[in-house]
Structure 1
Amino acid sequence: MAISKAVKNTIDSVGKFTSVDMTHDPKWFINFMDEANCLPDHEIINRKLAEVLEPLDYKSIIELGCGTGNDVRYLLSIYPDVTEIVGVDLSEAMIAEANSRIIEGSRIRFEKGDGKHLHFDDNRFDAARAKLVLMHCDSIDTTLSELIRVVKPNGKVAIFDHDFDGLLIDHSDVKLTREIVERLSNKAKNNWSGRQLFGRFLNHGLVNVSVEAISVNLTLGVLRSMILGQEDMAHLSKAEQAWWEELVIKNEKGLFFASFIGFLVVGTK
């Protein structure tokens, strides 16, 4: 089946978080992140990303790919004794938005930076975290090495990434559903990042490595943004339009179901 031009052009949208500032509408990415972060299962991920750091003797934490800073603010809210959380993001637009949401006098700091070349000294932080970040990186191993470098000995590194082949959608057209999921997965920069985290942690010398699978149930709106990006459905093929129409009907009847599998991995330096 031929891939429509609209899908070719837009399926990359959610995968462009490393080049948000070069897109015509950075605000779209901010809105997408806010919508996705409202999913109940993302709250579970945030809570578990915090729990795996326990017992939290840590006073200084780096959050790579902080985006609008929602996860950083959540972490500080449940661990008020933390003295410093530094959020780093490649996008100036994301950092500007994160800074606009800071409460004055906060122990949070946001700054622009590249995960492949962090400017911090060795052994600078007590812990490092990243959620849905490495799957967008040009070099996962280089970025992971940098995160490990800036963490103190015995500090923890906790990461959550999705696995793009783990997008599950309940639809009557099995063949087309598989094609759409495979198309999205093939367009992702690191489509198997989630399943590869465990091995990467061990290869980088981390110890006491553990992994937990977490599936995020999606809304129709989030699924649409993931697959179509900023485009509408007008330019899709008839078969693709019919595919989406079935999901809309399912959603109206309360029968819509889609879930995205990811993996939370934590290790000690």
Structure 2
Amino acid sequence: MSSTLGVPRPDQAAYMLRAAAGDAGRAYKRQLLESLDIEAGHTALDVGCGPGTDLPALAERVGGTGIVIGVDRDRAMLERARARTADLRRVELREGDAHALPVEPGTVDRAKIDRVLMHVAEPSGVLAELRRVTRPGARIGLAEPDWDTLIVDSEDLGTSRAFTRYTTTEVVRHATIGRRLARLAERAGFRVEAVSAVTPVFLDVQEADHTLGLGRNLRKAMDEGHIDPARGRAWFAGLSEGPFYASFTLISVVCSR
């Protein structure tokens, strides 16, 4: 690993596509989509669709008589999604905020939100919007990390813990949203059908650096006085000196309207 403290912040679309392409990303996404029990003719909604990672799989499931709606507030993301779904006539892309979905009330049969609630201003407001646009009997899939569970193995346990603490308090807006998903879904008026968790494991230090932002977030933590610079640099350098391990917990909730 270089002395520049990790890879630069990646292009957001490329980052999302790379994360989804890993073994852990493919596994939980497949499980989440299967749990929604999407049928031909359904209207399926992907809130925060990003570069369209999941839109082709949703389109395949709704068939020629269904509709897939992808919503994102980022025009650049929508352009990537548009290119990705150019040959899929049943996919509609709409620019809009998750707090005010550009979707008619009671028109959605299936919906998913994947690693979006941790970033939004008000997760409960987004879930209220989901309830507004879904039909009675609709199924909704939610998936979010719990960053309090981030583990980075190091002989310097104190700095590893300080890095996790910085991630949860300064980097991610709603760092513990994963553990709160079921409770928030019930409060929004949904019936929780299933709760599951997976633990993505990173054994390659450079892949972890890219996905978890080890170097770039460490730099911020040192610059802001959360971690001693000399100790932080020694911690980062030591990560590549032997077998590497890092992991976190990702929680999925399936609920119904």
Pick the TM interval, shorter chain. Answer: 0.7 to 0.9
Matched residues in 1 for 2:215 and 2:81: separation?
22
1:231–1:164 Cα change, 3 Å: closer
Matched residues in 1 for 2:90 and 2:127: separation?
25
Offset at residue 92 of structure 1 (A): 0.9
| Secondary structure in 2 matching 1:68 | coil
Contact 1:201/1:209 (8 A) holds in 2: no
The TM-score, its normalising length taken from structure 1, stands at: 0.82
Equivalence for 1:118: 101
1:260 to 230, 248, 251: 248
1:137 to 103, 109, 120: 120
1:66 to 45, 49, 52: 49
Higher mean alpha-carbon deviation, 255-264 vs 77-86, is at 77-86
What does 1:1-269 correspond to in 2, within 5 Å?
28-54=11-37, 56=39, 59-77=42-60, 80=63, 83-187=66-170, 188-218=172-202, 219-225=204-210, 226-228=212-214, 237-250=229-242, 255-269=243-257
How many residue pairs get matched? Answer: 244
| Secondary structure in 1 matching 2:11 | helix
| Secondary structure in 1 matching 2:57 | helix
CA shift digits 1:149-181 (9 cap, x unpaired): 111100011100001101122221111000001
When the two chains are superposed, the root-mean-square deviation of aligned CA atoms in Å is 2.7
Matched residues in 2 for 1:231 and 1:186: separation?
12
Matched residues in 2 for 1:157 and 1:193: separation?
16
Offset at residue 50 of structure 1 (A): 0.9
Q: Which runs of 5+ in 1 are unaligned?
A: 1-5, 15-26
| Secondary structure in 1 matching 2:127 | helix
| Secondary structure in 2 matching 1:185 | helix
1:231–1:217 Cα change, 3 Å: closer
| Secondary structure in 2 matching 1:117 | coil
| Identity %, equivalent residues | 24
Offset at residue 228 of structure 1 (A): 5.0
1:138–1:246 Cα change, 3 Å: same
Letter in 2 for 1:199: R
Contact 2:142/2:252 (8 A) holds in 1: yes
CA shift digits 1:204-255 (9 cap, x unpaired): 221243210111123533432433576896x9623222212222223xxxx2
1:242–1:229 Cα change, 3 Å: closer
Matched residues in 1 for 2:216 and 2:63: separation?
38
Contact 2:42/2:62 (8 A) holds in 1: no
Higher mean alpha-carbon deviation, 129-138 vs 201-210, is at 201-210
Matched residues in 2 for 1:223 and 1:28: separation?
16
Matched residues in 1 for 2:36 and 2:141: separation?
8
Equivalence for 1:24: none
Higher mean alpha-carbon deviation, 82-91 vs 222-231, is at 222-231
Contact 2:182/2:195 (8 A) holds in 1: yes
